[in-house]
Amino acid sequence: MSAFNGRIESLHNSHDRRRFDCGDSALNDYLRRYARQHADANISRTYVACKEQRICGYYSLAMAAIKKQQLPSQYHKRFADYPVPMARLARLAVDVGYQGQGIGKLLLLDALYRCLELSRNIGMAGVIVDAKHEQAQAFYQNFEFETFPDSALTLWLPTGAIQTLFAADQSSYAIEKGPRSVFNP
């Protein structure tokens, strides 16, 4: 993974959304047309990895709730029969010009760190993601995301696993942590 010499920050009007192309028209369209609208409506928040105003990649976070029966069976006893609060990694994409440089990993870790901070304030059981395809599923499984029993492309990472991820490798993350993000210089 090469060093990223940009910033990860909340999407704002000055970012050049038109030039972004990850190779997936739905993900491109979301960033160009809906990400700001969703932020304004408090539906989700989008964060971008950028150099100057050029967007290299992005992710969107939203809140969610699921039934405990959707989780792998070993977690059923942990939760009551109420909706289980989760954060949802709604989208994650990297511009084709920046793919293969570790930006997807940086974005995922930044998203998980934000979710960990959120869990300390309001509580949540974990982070869920709907992978678009098997390649994306494998990417998330590299970070110990587990598949849902009834939907192999829906995965989750418990909050405890996120805590362990950051506690286990404090030295590599501590250098890169910034006031608002894991990877801001």
| The pLDDT of residue 181 is above 60 | no
pLDDT in tens, 72-123: 888 888 888 889 999 999 999 999 999 999 999 999 999 999 999 999 999 8
Judged against a pLDDT cut of 90, whether residue 31 lies above it is answered with: yes
- What average pLDDT does the structure give for the chain? 88
Give residue 145's pLDDT.
Answer: 96
Q: Name the amino acid, one letter, at 91.
A: R
Can you state the percent helix, strand and coil of the chain, rounding each to 5? 40, 30, 35
Q: Which domains does the chain have, with CATH numbers?
A: 59-174 (3.40.630.30)
Average of per-residue pLDDT across 7-31? 95
pLDDT of residue 175 exceeding 60: no
**Per-residue pLDDT tens over the stretch 153-166:** 999 999 999 999 88
Cα–Cα distance measured from residue 111 to residue 11, given in angstroms and rounded to the nearest whole number? 14
